[in-house]
């Protein structure tokens, strides 16, 4: 039985298919026409297709063909992995990772009213109130609690109906909002994220005492990740009020 090689027209058609937008991969295929259906059921149609196939070259040595194919594959690999670390261009060399994280600082929970959560954290779980503040620009309050053996939880509640937190709670409800890690050099961390294929958002490198950037929940399994750089993680907050003062001034903007 003589081997047949695929026609050049078919190879070109495959190349066009590869270049198609991957977002169109699930588009609905057109339903076959009645004529097409008859053609598939009529095996005699193969007699029409056979003349379009080009016979293989009888003088083509299989060993030479294998060596030639290996050379083509090698060129393709070199073009894809042109960097020194032989990795796709969207990934950095391993010596560029991981990002230098100083510590996992806290996990933040969003709520309409902080008071019930404060009681759970302090009276039942033994956490100590260590920091807090009202950020009037974005319109939210944050209260941080440290557990006896380490680890912090932050409770955030909206101060206005115009801020991001009010929109978040209205859309998603109460629950985990973000995870914050402190990094040694945020500018470097942002470049490492980009080199690894991530897209940092809301990057702020200009603030003298609080530089920050975020990894979107779309790229982090549904959780917002905050990367922050501070000059001194243990520096006391001069504007912090007592916990009782914060609890006495509760906005509680929960919709009725």
Question: What predicted TM-score, i.e. pTM, was given to this entire model?
Answer: 0.63
Task: Report the b/e string of 106-140 with b at 16+ CB within 10 A.
Answer: bebbbbbbbeebbeebeeeeebebeebeeeeeebb
> In terms of C-beta density within 10 A (0-12 exposed, 13-18 middle, 19 or more buried), how is residue 247 classed?
middle
Cis amide leading into 235 (omega within 30): no
Indicate the pLDDT class of residue 62, thresholds 50, 70 and 90.
Answer: low
Closest alpha carbon to 94 in 196, 166, 3: 196
Q: Give φ, ψ of 110 to 5 degrees.
A: -95, 140
Q: Does residue 168 form part of some domain?
A: yes
Residue 245: CA count within 13 A, CB half-sphere: 8
69 with 130, same domain: the answer is no
Specify the CATH number for the domain of residue 143. Answer: 3.10.180.10
Stretch 57-78: mean pLDDT = 57
| Cβ atoms within 10 Å, residue 186 | 22
Q: Mind listing the pLDDT tens digit for each residue in 116-152?
A: 999 999 999 999 999 999 999 999 999 999 999 999 9
Q: Does residue 243 form part of some domain?
A: yes
User: Which are the contacts of 60, defined by CB distance < 8 A and separation ≥ 6?
Assistant: none
Could you give the CA distance from residue 6 to residue 13 in angstroms, rounded to a whole number?
Answer: 11
Q: Does residue 256 form part of some domain?
A: no
Question: How many domains in the chain?
Answer: 2
| pLDDT above 50 for 11 | no
Q: Does residue 221 form part of some domain?
A: yes
Domain interval for residue 66: 4-19+31-80
Q: Does residue 104 form part of some domain?
A: yes
């Amino acid at each position: 039985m003589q081997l047949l090689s695929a026609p050049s027209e078919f190879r070109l058609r495959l190349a066009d298919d590869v270049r198609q937008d991957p977002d169109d991969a699930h588009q609905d295929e057109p339903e076959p026409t009645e004529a097409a259906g008859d053609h598939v059921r009529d095996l005699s149609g193969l007699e029409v297709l056979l003349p379009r196939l080009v016979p293989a070259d009888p003088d083509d040595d299989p060993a030479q063909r294998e060596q030639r194919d290996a050379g083509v594959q090698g060129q393709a690999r070199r073009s894809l992995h042109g960097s020194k670390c032989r990795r796709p261009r969207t990934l950095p060399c391993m010596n560029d990772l991981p990002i230098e994280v100083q510590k996992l600082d806290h996990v933040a929970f969003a709520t309409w009213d902080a008071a019930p959560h404060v009681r759970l954290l302090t009276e039942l779980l033994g956490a100590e109130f260590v920091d807090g503040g009202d950020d009037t620009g974005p319109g939210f309050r944050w209260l941080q609690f440290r557990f006896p053996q380490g680890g912090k939880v932050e409770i955030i509640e909206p101060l206005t109906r115009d801020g991001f937190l009010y929109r978040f709670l209205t859309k998603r409800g109460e629950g985990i909002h973000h995870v914050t890690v402190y990094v040694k050099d945020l500018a470097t961390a942002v470049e490492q994220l980009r080199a690894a294929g991530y897209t940092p958002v809301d990057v702020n490198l200009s603030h003298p005492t609080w530089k920050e950037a975020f990894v979107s929940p779309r790229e982090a399994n549904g959780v917002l990740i905050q990367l922050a750089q501070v000059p001194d993680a243990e520096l006391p907050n001069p504007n912090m009020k007592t916990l009782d003062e914060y609890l006495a001034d509760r906005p509680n903007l929960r919709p009725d």
